[in-house]
A and B are shown apart, each in its own frame.
Chain A
Amino acid sequence: GAVVSQHPSRVICKSGTSVKIECRSLDFQATTMFWYRQFPKKSLMLMATSNEGSKATYEQGVEKDKFLINHASLTLSTLTVTSAHPEDSSFYICSARPSGGTETQYFGPGTRLLVL
């Protein structure tokens, strides 16, 4: 149980295009999902907290207009990297916290984004 999927697992795009990454909780409902960015040999950095049916809460320094987050249902959150540039190349990881009060987060396998 408690499986989280991400799609795509890997994406290469041209500079200036937009890329959408999906995060799904497969066997549970998640009121809250989180989006992280992981740089090589670095820790995971929280980008934003996504709440179903409301606006995402972004961490300091994360551009809201560049990283659009939508959490339209209890099992799906999407992250859209708009007008991507090479510096946006990274490993993006989502997690989902089951509805009901638990603090445990379950992580997706990550999406590798390469912007050329």
Chain B
Amino acid sequence: GNSVTQMEGPVTLSEEAFLTINCTYTATGYPSLFWYVQYPGEGLQLLLKATKADDKGSNKGFEATYRKETTSFHLEKGSVQVSDSAVYFCALSSGATNKLIFGTGTLLAVQP
């Protein structure tokens, strides 16, 4: 069945460091891929998405490229800020129902 695997955290970085959070997926067909972010005390928010191979999703300085050949959708940001501290979830949706399947989430802590 469909599944999402993302790197375990926590990931601790200093401000202005480069961020990569790995995400790989297993799916039949052609899923859409998402990154959601959950800030402390808040609900999940869609950060970015890509709906087909080689698409690049980007938002707030974050970006991820849909790589079908490696079944990956790694999240990157060139220079993180303290305000980026949150839990990041990789997810996919596939099929007629568009149900979301989530990875386990990666906690990012950015220190000043």
Residues of chain A whose beta carbon lies under 8 Å from any beta carbon of chain B: 4, 6, 34, 41-44, 46, 49, 57, 93, 95, 97, 103-110
Query: When the two chains form the complex, which single residue of A41, A49, A107 contacts B44, counting CB atoms closer than 8 Å?
Result: A107
The main secondary structure of chain B at its interface with chain A is strand
Q: Does B105 contact A (CB under 8 A)?
A: yes
Give chain B's interface residues, CB within 8 Å of chain A. 4, 32, 36, 41-46, 49, 89, 93, 97-105
Complex contact B100–A46 (CB within 8 A): yes
Number of CB contacts from chain A to chain B under 8 A? 45
Asked whether, in the complex, the Cβ of A44 is within 8 Å of the Cβ of B89, the reply is yes
A110 to B103, CA, bound (A): 18
Q: Which of B4, B41, B43, B49 contacts A107 (CB 8 A)?
A: B43
Measured CB to CB, the nearest residue on chain A to B94 is A103
List of 5 A-B pairs having minimum Cβ-Cβ separation, nearest first: A107-B44, A109-B43, A107-B43, A103-B98, A43-B102
CB distance A43 to B43 under 8 Å?
no
